[in-house]
Amino acid sequence: MKAIGITATDTEFGKTVVSSCLAAGFKYLGFDMGVFKPAASGCVRTAEGRLVSEDAELLIKGAGLTMAQHDDVVPYVLEAALAPAEASKLAGVKLEPAVMKKAAAKMINSHKLTVVEGVGGISAPLTDNYLVKDFFCDMKLPVIIVVKPLLGNVNHAVLSAYYAQHEGLKVLGFIVNGWDEENAGVLEHSNLYYYEKLTGLPVLGRLPVLNKELLTGPDMLEAGKIAAENIDLQRIYKLLGDGENE
């Protein structure tokens, strides 16, 4: 059983979209997929008063799971759109790393491959003393960094990769989210060049901007096909090796 951690150079860079599309892409190739997120902030309350993570919903759809598995995919749901460490304080909820790790291990051990989405960037605080990088390290997850072809993102990508490696994480490479091949110019192409040149890590895929309908429809079959065509899924799987999670 193998797993990949997904982080990004910043919040709102499309970790959930990339994670769900990765799950859908591998599922399109025939993999039995799991998905997981240790905690989710900015969750919405249903008419019945239950908090539901929209991130988890998209992850579930990508992997082909059911909403009955929502709590298995994300053990902690928080209403405030803040880092979990702060959102949990407002909610009066104590986040336990042991609970996150146990739930993650259960998901990983139940599927051939599991995509584990982090929260915010690699150093985002899950609790005051437990960061996303600590969770990835404890779970022995190799990570992929989501980037965008924007001015200044080369700096953030280099720093994120260096920090992750310094903390003992294996970084597989980058996935570019929101790639527009038709309109890509010097800025966008130079970003790809410098991501690789300055880190020694590969760009593993360029996920194009997806129509909203592909993410809001009843399934993500078409999104999975697009992911399989634009992300080197076989290379990612080979980079995982035997998988320390097994």
User: What is the average pLDDT value for the chain, to the nearest integer?
Assistant: 94
Q: The CATH number of the domain where 115 resides is what?
A: 3.40.50.300
- pLDDT tens profile 86-137: 999 999 999 999 999 999 999 999 999 999 999 989 999 999 999 999 999 9
Q: How far apart are CA 213 and CA 43, in angstroms?
A: 21
Domain-embedded: residue 80: no
Q: How far apart are CA 164 and CA 93, in angstroms?
A: 28
Is the pLDDT assigned to residue 140 strictly greater than 50? yes
Structural domain containing residue 205: 2-38+97-239
Domain-embedded: residue 124: yes
State the pLDDT at residue 110.
Answer: 96
Which of 64, 78, 157, 189 is closest to 114 using CA atoms?
A: 64
Is the pLDDT assigned to residue 234 strictly greater than 50? yes
Domain-embedded: residue 66: no
Domain-embedded: residue 199: yes
Domain-embedded: residue 206: yes
Establish how many alpha carbons lie within 13 A of residue 117's alpha carbon, considering only the half-sphere containing its beta carbon: 35
Domain-embedded: residue 9: yes
Split into its structural domains, the chain has a count of: 1
- Work out the average pLDDT over 144-159: 94
State the pLDDT at residue 243.
Answer: 54
The catalytic residue among 15, 37, 61, 133 is 37
pTM for the model stands at 0.94
Contacts of 112 by beta carbon, 8 Å cutoff, 6+ apart: 1, 2, 31, 32, 33
Domain-embedded: residue 233: yes
- pLDDT tens profile 13-67: 899 999 999 999 999 999 999 999 999 999 999 888 899 999 999 999 999 999 9
State the pLDDT at residue 218.
Answer: 84
- Asked if 148 is an active-site residue, the reply is no
Domain-embedded: residue 88: no
Q: How far apart are CA 142 and CA 243, in angstroms?
A: 9
85 vs 213, residue with greater confidence: 85
